[in-house]
Amino acid sequence: MRLTGKTVLITGAARGLGRATALACAAEGADLVLLDLCEDLDGVPYPLGTRGQLEHTATLCRKQGVTVLPVACDVRDLDAVERAVALAEDRFGRVDGVVNNAGIAAPSGKPVHEIGEAEWALMIDVDLSGAWRVTRAVAGAMSARRSGSIVNVSSTAGLVGYRHFAGYVAAKHGLIGLTKAAALDYAPTKVRVNAVCPGSVRDDATAEGRMLAEIARALEVQVGEHEQTFTEAQPMNSLIEPEDVAAAVVYLLSDDARQVTGSVLTVDGGFTAR
Amino acid sequence: MVGEQCHALRLRLSRPATDAELTARLATAGPWQLWVEHVAAPADSPEARRLGDAELSRPTSAVRCVVLRHGDGVVDLVLVADRAVLDQEGLHDLAATLAAGADGAAGVGRAPTAGSRSAVGEAGTRDVPAPAPSGVAAAPAPDWGGGRRGAVGGETLSLDLADPVDPSALLPALALVLNRYAGHGATGDVTLATDRRGALAHAIPAQSTLAGLRDLVATPTRQPVTVGVVEPGAPVTGAAAGAEYRPCLAPPFPLTLWVRPEASRITAVYRRSHFAPEVVDGFLRHLAHVLGQFVEHPDRPVDEVELLDADERRRVAALGRPATAPTGEPARLTDAFAEVVAARPDAPAVGDGRTSLTYAELDARADLLARGLVARGVAPGDRVGVCLERTTELVVSMLGVLKAGAAYVPTDPAYPADRLAHTTRDAALRLVVTRNPEHPTEDCTTVTPDELVDTSATLGPVELPGAQGPDAPAYVIYTSGSTGRPKGVVVPHRNVVALVDATRDEYGLGPADVWTFFHSGAFDFSVWEIWGSLLTGGRLVVVPYLVSREPDEFRELLERERVTVLSQTPSAFSQLLETDHAALAVRLVVFGGEPLDARMLLRWFDRHPEPECRMVNMFGITETTVHVTAQTLTRELALAGSKSVGPALPGWHLYVADERGRLVPPGVTGEIRVGGAGVALGYLGQPELTAARFTPDPYADGVQYHSGDLGRLRPDGTLEHLGRIDSQVKIRGFRIELDEIRSVLLEDPDVRAAAVVVRRDDPADPATARLDAYVVPAAVDTVGVRKRAATVLPGYMLPATVTALDTLPLTSNGKLDAARLPEPVRAAVVPSAADGAGQDTASVLREIWSTVLGQAVGLDDDFFELGGNSLLAVRISAALRGRGLPPVPLRDLFRTPTIRELAGAGSGA
């Protein structure tokens, strides 16, 4: 039990990678603060996580014997983020770990000159600025306690380019930049900031993930065809499972990684090794 | 929002209430949120318990109210508050309000005390907040605590008492217990803290009774604290009476105690970095026992208060006894030896390079010698001196004395005549077996081994005496004593047999082993070497004195003879480490004679990994038959610089006692006492001293010896040895009583006052230890004083320097102030005209000698006069080798101790 006695706050926890990460943290004994927008967003062409999905994640975690506080929260709203963090501190006394997982894959699927101002702004606002807002809300208290671990869920799109995904790629590259800069900001106070870069993650039925499907749709290809393409592109010849990414996140949250900060851990089956 | 500042309680609601009702009740108390958790498991399941415990240990910056609704319908309330927001009474009031509603809250049967009922303010703060224990510095981990360095977090332990605690006795009792834990030599000054009053200094008057201690004056202090108390509030009755209260979520002090008077329970929250659970467990029991004495024996003087009750004394006594029972029956050395002879008569028993004997030959030779002794009137119970170089015939002679029914009294032929004469007189020796023509003969006759054998041959068959019991003395070995002159320790046969029985199986000692006889027969480490080998069928290799002082020659001997069992003082072993020891066949090294710094073994382990060679550190005392404890050393322990000397040998018992002879708890420093199979019969001819140092063992049959050594028993039964209580010191394996040297100096007619101290040129290097003597008056001829002392003192006790002073510096108590003694005046260095440069070997030697001896050296200065010793000689040889020059063997140095003579001898080669 590597996270016993710790409280971990996870954004985008209703489903997919967020749910898998929450379950992995619960299995390691962490109490959880689970955030999700729980609403659809104008401009995002697919349905986002729901209240029911967030509650389901909470129920699954409680079965592991931990205490869970689910909170509906929009990471685009600094006040809302600060309220959620205050609630978490009131309930659990402290927040030891943060997983900035909330993110959207679309609107995408077009070259740069076709992206609208609002589309660009929305992508950056959720995928990059959201992580900044949560970090802003927790880092002061973590620094004062001289302990804490923040994990930003970036992507291989934070390391290399993808055709017709300029907004997403820019946001995920930015997230790695934020990770490294914040790591230096807080290293003196022993607060660690790291990034995880998953490759193509399979849409797990029980995790209710749909990232891969939405990327395929943005590229106007069939999911099966897209899976095939990325399975072949990843040298280990398989897709990434949500649990693989969650395990990397748990490591970075745990004291095992107490000297690891500013690092970028790829979980991509070797995709970026070439 | 830290755990140190927060307290918490858990209360099971006896009357059901809806979330809305509870929220309404909470609103009457303060602006706090009600958190409701639904727990599927039944309330008393481990899972639910764990969730509840987690709630109880979560700090808050204000107040947190959590309702746990369990699957079986049971509802628990968990309240956590910062003490500055809600104090103990306030927290219980809040619980009562939530549990009973407005009606119930009004009727809470709490004894109202001034200020305790003050309302909770608008902002959630009470108008009379209890101050947090800020500004109290935590002391570092106490050496008795058994804490784990680097451990984080706290743990909780509780003890239920038979009777309610008298609050006015708590702090005095705690101060008393803590004072006892400070161990040997502690003053009566104790620092304690409370959460409300901060750190407080107490001075326990030695003359007080327990009743008098209640008025113990506490004065605020800035001293760091080890132990503190969370002061109890008024007793709780009414709706919150059944609440489980946690005075702090993390210990504000390294060891935080809280006494709940109405429940007669002491709870301890402690930092794992400072304390082991078993130590805290014991601390609570001892506190409880002392609290009981406040009630039952208020007139008892503080000094007579017992820390341990009878059960606990038995438990601590048992801790010092090894789990493995001793094997073997009491026996005489001669009978145990006869069994080995019968089993393997033709196996090699002992050899010194010139003479080698099988077991049957050794037996026959010793019989001859014994008959010679009997023919000369030696009778059972007599003592016979043996003063021979380390040779086969020394072993024959010892065995022969035993076969004649007598006890041998070994002395070293290198001892000054005066010391030999003292031993002869003190032991009332009528006969001394020796080849030393200078041996004093005023009180005894001397005889050579050859003469004894010849006597035996000419007289024909002489009956050896019938067997005496195993309790009869086998040997008398003289050791330094605080009374000024060495005293004879009388050790019976069965002790030595028990020592071999205690080690034979554990170390696999047997006929395949080859042992060294390295140490002087007058040093009891050799008792272990000789009888350890002969009673287990091993082959004993005698190491001649000069070989024992030349590491390279000694290494060659170890290789040549394929020695498997090596016994060494750490000083001697460090010299061996300087050589190329990779090819040795040694499988067991036993350390004894002086404290071991385990880190020096790393270099050995590099060449001889643990599975190939076992390294064992044994702590021992002549009065307890060579050894007492054994600690197998590993690379892990060596890296950690372990100070453990291990648990007692099977059959030996360890006790650690305070100044009044009471057992102290594990971890606490006291005098080491040893009982069991190894305790000697006493001091020869000194019934009073024997009665003082050898007393009945209160916890087992037999006698315990008061060692005068300081130590502590760890909770696992291993001993840490912490040095001598008095002035006794060890230099290069020799036990030296500084007072003994001082009394010899004072015997000099020119000396009016004297002091002797041990100093190291390099504090980190035990090889540079030397004795510095100071004598009064200033006009005294120091060279003459040293020369006269040399006629009485063996070389290892002779001060390296003698400095004359007008007066000795004293402390205000009239004791010697060793720190104010000046630097010693070294033997004069007179540069002579002949000391010119360019003298090749001589100038190289001068440079090396100056470096090694740490002072300027002239061509005619005597190496030994300048504080040279065998260890420093080895360094000189190493430095010479480093420059491609031939080393100087120690025996050359003895013959030609000046550079001029050495260089002259060397240039001819």
In whole angstroms, give the CA distance from residue A223 to residue A208. Answer: 15
In whole angstroms, give the CA distance from residue A62 to residue B41. Answer: 11
In the structure encoding, which two tokens stand for residue B555, read together?
């290494």
| Distance of residue B40 Cα from the nearest chain A Cα, in angstroms | 9
Interface of A with B in 31-50 (CB under 8 A): 31
Catalytic residues of A: 168
At B759 the pLDDT is: 83
Q: Do B47 and A91 touch (CB under 8 A)?
A: no
The reply to whether A1 touches chain B by the CB within 8 Å rule is no
In a domain, A192, yes or no: yes
Indicate if the pLDDT at residue B566 is higher than 90: yes
Which residues make beta-bridge pairs with B566? Answer: B589
| Distance of residue B199 Cα from the nearest chain A Cα, in angstroms | 25
| Distance of residue B518 Cα from the nearest chain A Cα, in angstroms | 52
At B698 the pLDDT is: 93
- In 3D space, the residue among B205, B233, B229 whose CA is nearest the CA of residue B217 turns out to be B205
Residue range of the domain that includes A100? 7-273
pLDDT band at A29 (very low <50, low <70, confident <90, very high): very high
Indicate if the pLDDT at residue B360 is higher than 90: yes
Which residues make beta-bridge pairs with A7? Answer: A31
The reply to whether A140 touches chain B by the CB within 8 Å rule is no
pLDDT band at B875 (very low <50, low <70, confident <90, very high): confident
Residues of B in contact with A92 (CB under 8 A): 58
**Cβ atoms of B441 and B415 closer than 8 Å:** no
At B699 the pLDDT is: 92
In the structure encoding, which two tokens stand for residue B218, read together?
């506490």
At A34 the pLDDT is: 98
At B730 the pLDDT is: 64
The reply to whether B30 touches chain A by the CB within 8 Å rule is no
- In 3D space, the residue among B542, B111, B94 whose CA is nearest the CA of residue B348 turns out to be B542
Architecture of domain B154-307: 2-Layer Sandwich (3.30)
Residues of B in contact with A62 (CB under 8 A): 40
- Give domain limits for chain B: 3-106, 154-307, 357-468, 652-707, 728-820, 841-907
Q: Tens of pLDDT along B828-850? A: 444 444 444 445 777 888 888 88
CA angle B262, B266, B270 (to 5 degrees): 145
At A139 the pLDDT is: 98
- Report the CATH number of the B3-106 domain: 3.30.559.10
Nearest chain A residue to B79 by CA: give it.
Answer: A91
In a domain, A1, yes or no: no
| Distance of residue B642 Cα from the nearest chain A Cα, in angstroms | 28
The reply to whether A67 touches chain B by the CB within 8 Å rule is yes
Indicate if the pLDDT at residue B678 is higher than 70: yes
**Cβ atoms of B805 and B755 closer than 8 Å:** no
Q: Do A67 and B33 touch (CB under 8 A)?
A: no
How many beta-carbon pairs under 8 angstroms link A with B? 27
Q: Do B33 and A90 touch (CB under 8 A)?
A: yes
Residue indicated by tokens 């001060």: B799
B59 → closest Cβ in A31, A62, A93: A93
Q: Do A67 and B51 touch (CB under 8 A)?
A: yes
Q: Tens of pLDDT along B764-777? A: 666 677 889 998 88
At B80 the pLDDT is: 97
At B732 the pLDDT is: 66
At A8 the pLDDT is: 98
CA angle B599, B600, B603 (to 5 degrees): 110
In the structure encoding, which two tokens stand for residue B464, read together?
């050896």
In whole angstroms, give the CA distance from residue B693 to residue B185. Answer: 19
Indicate if the pLDDT at residue B128 is higher than 50: no
- Of A68-77, B108-117, B516-525, B601-610, highest mean pLDDT: A68-77
Q: How far is residue B626 from each of residues A78, A133, B328, B474, measured CA to CA in Å?
A: 77, 73, 18, 14
Indicate if the pLDDT at residue B281 is higher than 90: yes
Indicate if the pLDDT at residue A20 is higher than 70: yes
Q: pLDDT above 90 covers what percent of chain A?
A: 91
Total domains present in chain A = 1
- What is the pLDDT averaged over residues B110-128? 34
B60 → closest Cβ in A31, A62, A93: A93
pLDDT band at B263 (very low <50, low <70, confident <90, very high): low
At B481 the pLDDT is: 54
Cis peptide before B777 (omega within 30 of 0): yes
CB atoms within 10 A of CB B109: 12
Q: pLDDT above 70 covers what percent of chain B?
A: 90
A65 → closest Cβ in B47, B58, B64: B47
| Distance of residue B117 Cα from the nearest chain A Cα, in angstroms | 26
CATH fold for the domain made of B841-907 = 1.10.1200
- What is the pLDDT averaged over residues B127-144? 66
Residues of A in contact with B37 (CB under 8 A): 67
| Among A55, A83, A94, the residue to mutate for chain B (most B Cβ within 10 A) | A94
Q: Do A67 and B55 touch (CB under 8 A)?
A: yes
At A184 the pLDDT is: 98
Interface of A with B in 81-100 (CB under 8 A): 89-94
Q: Which has the higher per-residue pLDDT, B888 or A141?
A: A141
Residues of A in contact with B67 (CB under 8 A): none
In a domain, A114, yes or no: yes
In a domain, A2, yes or no: no
At B248 the pLDDT is: 86
Q: Tens of pLDDT along B392-419? A: 999 999 999 999 999 999 999 988 888 8
CB atoms within 10 A of CB B221: 17
In whole angstroms, give the CA distance from residue A9 to residue A85. Answer: 8
| Domain harbouring A17, CATH code | 3.40.50.720
Q: pLDDT above 90 covers what percent of chain B?
A: 52
At A43 the pLDDT is: 94
At B110 the pLDDT is: 40
Residues of A in contact with B33 (CB under 8 A): 90
CA angle B172, B175, B177 (to 5 degrees): 110
In the structure encoding, which two tokens stand for residue A45, read together?
């062409």
The reply to whether A65 touches chain B by the CB within 8 Å rule is yes
Q: Do B54 and A91 touch (CB under 8 A)?
A: no
Q: Tens of pLDDT along B60-96? A: 999 999 999 999 999 999 999 998 899 888 999 999 9
Fold equal for B3-106 and B154-307: yes
Q: In the 8-state DSSP scheme, what is residue B262?
A: G
Interface of B with A in 598-657 (CB under 8 A): none
CB atoms within 10 A of CB A19: 31
At B831 the pLDDT is: 42
A93 → closest Cβ in B47, B50, B58: B58
| Distance of residue B34 Cα from the nearest chain A Cα, in angstroms | 10
Architecture of domain B728-820: 2-Layer Sandwich (3.30)
| Distance of residue B556 Cα from the nearest chain A Cα, in angstroms | 51
- What is the pLDDT averaged over residues B786-802? 85
Does CATH place domain B652-707 in 2.30.38.10? yes
What does the mean pLDDT of chain B come to? 86
Nearest chain A residue to B59 by CA: give it.
Answer: A93
Indicate if the pLDDT at residue B162 is higher than 90: no
CATH fold for the domain made of B357-468 = Rossmann fold (3.40.50)
Residues of B in contact with A91 (CB under 8 A): 35, 64
